[in-house]
Amino acid sequence: MPHHRTALRLAAPVAALALTACAGGADDADAGDPAGPRMSASPSPSVVSGGDVARGESVTGKVDEDPGEVTYEVVAQKVDVGTEAQAAKAVADAADAEGRVPAVAHVKYTHRGGPALTHGSDVHEGTAVFADGRRGGVLVGAFEDVPGCEDPYDVDSWKKGESHVFCEAYVIPADATGVEVHWSQEDGEPYVWKFPRT
């Protein structure tokens, strides 16, 4: 699986960034699948099979990693929403970001059980950002300076009890009233943390 880095630099212009799967456009195939990317996970004790999760509450899931199945605790901590000007600077063609703003979800993953990892994890692949029930457009690029965010592809050693915060960068409609962070389990409904726009 090819690795890419996903994040957003909110303060400085960014060159050659791809914008994909924008909500509200003609290419809304991904928006029709509310679960988005999927991971192998077991239900949380407090949320039986996906569904809404209270802000600050975590869920537990099992991810099939190399060298084996790892149990993670997952919690969406916050979503930073930027401005239309920042979205325009973050894409190769500013017209692609018209009427949209960047949204960066900070998600904390804690290794709770299973083998130690020695060359990365795929736990973040099940995370997506939605706005008013529709999947946002993914911002794909190489960024290392988002405050509080780690690059998942720089984490080569991960043992039980250790936590990392990975961020997912999307663009969402500028007039969206609510932002959601989804983390999906295989063949199940996504867990959803809701964050009102402030």
* pLDDT tens, residue order, the chain (198 aa): 444 333 333 333 332 333 433 333 333 333 333 333 222 233 333 444 589 999 999 999 888 998 899 999 999 999 999 999 999 988 888 898 899 999 999 999 999 999 999 988 989 999 999 999 999 999 876 345 688 999 888 898 999 999 999 999 999 999 999 999 999 866 667 999 999 886
What's the pLDDT score for residue 43? 34
Query: Residue 113 has what pLDDT?
Result: 96
What pLDDT, on the 0 to 100 scale, is given for residue 120? 87
* Helix (H) / strand (E) containing 89: helix 84-89
In the block, which residue shows the tokens 């943390």? 193
Task: Report the b/e string of 98-109 with b at 16+ CB within 10 A.
Answer: eebbbbbbbbbb
Cα 55 to Cα 78: distance, rounded to the nearest angstrom: 9
pLDDT for position 145: 67
Instruction: Write down all domains in the chain, each with its CATH number in brackets.
Output: 18-196 (2.60.40.1240)
CA gap 84, 90 in Å, rounded:
10
| 12's tokens | 């400085």
Strand intervals (E) in the chain: 18-20, 51-53, 59-64, 69-81, 100-113, 127-131, 134-135, 137-140, 163-173, 178-183, 191-196
pLDDT at 141: 63
70-73 long-range Cβ contacts below 8 angstroms, 24+ apart: 70/111, 70/113, 70/114, 70/115, 70/117, 70/121, 70/123, 71/42, 71/111, 71/112, 71/113, 71/114, 72/109, 72/110, 72/111, 72/112, 72/123, 73/109, 73/110, 73/112
Phi, psi of 31 (to 5 degrees): -70, -25
pTM for the complete prediction?
0.76
Q: Give percent helix, percent strand, percent coil of the chain, each to the nearest 5.
A: 10, 40, 50
Q: What is the pLDDT of residue 49?
A: 56
